[in-house]
């Protein structure tokens, strides 16, 4: 199995799958996600493997979905040759199908016969939180930053996991505002199993995974399936899929075109600075970011517009 954006290795009962685009903060391109799911299936099929560890090269787990043209896959091997998206059983034709595709792709990890432990350092943002949330366990660096800034100007979350894994008040805060929470805070809220100093993250995660790997594969499979089916009885599948429809609607709101227009006219970095400017974090921390910009869709009218609106003429 030849992979480009993912590393795959085994060590006794553990399989390590490593996101390997550190120069892009492991932004989730279609090719990377296709390779990732193929690596997951490879580990699932190996009888010698009991537990899968998902980790990332470099200083961040993932900055989210790749928003550049590089997101497109140029290799048919691990993506559907028609859609160029990771295979989910459909090509997802039509507009505004991204969130539906994301959730269906992530169900691959949900349905794996083997538990997956996410090892998280640095930034874990947007799509990175969705990937981590569908894993069975999350071990984070204390100073990791977990958040969903796209909700500030782009769309609602692609995979609305917060009501399932966070207390109600914090689920709303995470999903409405997009601020980052520290690894320590996410452990306190119950999203992360453990938060440890970043220098000990790898060793702690390995110890955690190896301890679990003493359980036989079939027992782990049935334990995972038993827990998953309880969430499904409570409606997690229907809830997440209905969230994808809301995400599609949010893209069509009146101010929804502002983000895309700024990306086209000014470039991605400038658009990110515009998005985060008033919040003064992420790209908004840059000196060039517009800290006092108007709310999207509520830009003040030009004088000519104001005079025209007051003319009383049809």
**Over the stretch 100-114, which tens digit does the pLDDT of each residue have?**
999 999 999 999 999
The pLDDT of residue 80? 92
User: Range(s) for CATH 3.90.226.10 in the chain?
Assistant: 6-216+227-250
The strand pairing partners of 119, in sequence order, are 139
Determine which helix (DSSP H) or strand (DSSP E) holds 55, and give its type and residue range: strand 51-56
The pLDDT of residue 312? 43
The pLDDT of residue 309? 39
* Paired tokens of 212: 């679990």
The pLDDT of residue 109? 98
Q: How far apart are alpha carbons 168 and 183 in whole angstroms?
A: 19
The pLDDT of residue 2? 85
Does domain 6-216+227-250 sit in CATH 3.40.50.1000? no
Distances in Å between the alpha carbon of 218 and those of 38, 118, 273, 283?
21, 21, 49, 46
Alpha helix ranges (H) inside 213-298:
217-233, 236-251, 256-266, 268-276
Q: How confident is the model at residue 303 (pLDDT cuts 50, 70, 90)?
A: low
Number of H helices, E strands in the chain: 12, 9
Please tell me the least confidently modeled range out of 118-122, 214-218, 261-265.
261-265
- Stretch 287-313: mean pLDDT: 69
């Amino acid at each position: 199995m030849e992979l480009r954006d993912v590393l795959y290795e085994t060590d006794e009962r553990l399989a390590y799958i490593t996101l390997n685009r550190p120069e892009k903060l492991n932004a989730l391109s279609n090719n990377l996600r296709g390779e990732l799911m193929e690596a997951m299936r490879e580990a699932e099929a190996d009888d010698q493997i009991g537990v899968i560890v998902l980790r990332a090269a470099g200083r961040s787990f993932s900055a989210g979905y790749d928003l550049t043209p590089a997101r497109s896959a140029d290799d048919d091997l691990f993506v559907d040759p028609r859609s160029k998206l990771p295979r989910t059983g459909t090509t997802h034709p039509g507009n505004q199908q991204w969130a539906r595709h994301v959730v269906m792709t992530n169900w691959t990890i949900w349905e794996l016969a083997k538990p997956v432990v996410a090892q998280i350092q640095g930034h874990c943002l947007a799509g990175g939180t969705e990937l981590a949330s569908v894993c069975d366990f999350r071990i984070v660096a204390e100073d990791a930053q977990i958040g969903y800034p796209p909700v500030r100007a782009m769309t609602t979350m692609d995979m609305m996991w917060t009501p399932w894994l966070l207390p109600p008040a914090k689920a709303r805060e995470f999903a409405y505002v997009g601020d980052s929470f520290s690894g320590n805070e996410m452990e306190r809220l119950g999203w992360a199993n453990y938060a440890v100093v970043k220098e000990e993250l790898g060793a702690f995660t390995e110890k955690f995974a190896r301890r679990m790997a003493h359980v036989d594969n079939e027992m782990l499979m049935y334990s995972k399936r038993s827990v998953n089916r309880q969430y499904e009885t409570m409606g997690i599948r229907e809830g997440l899929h209905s969230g994808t429809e809301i995400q599609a609607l949010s893209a069509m709101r009146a101010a929804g075109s502002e983000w895309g227009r700024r990306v086209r006219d000014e470039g991605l970095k400038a658009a990110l600075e515009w998005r985060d400017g008033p919040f003064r974090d992420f790209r908004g921390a840059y000196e060039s970011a517009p800290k006092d910009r108007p709310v999207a869709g509520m830009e003040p009218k030009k004088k000519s517009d104001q005079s025209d609106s007051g003319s009383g003429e049809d």
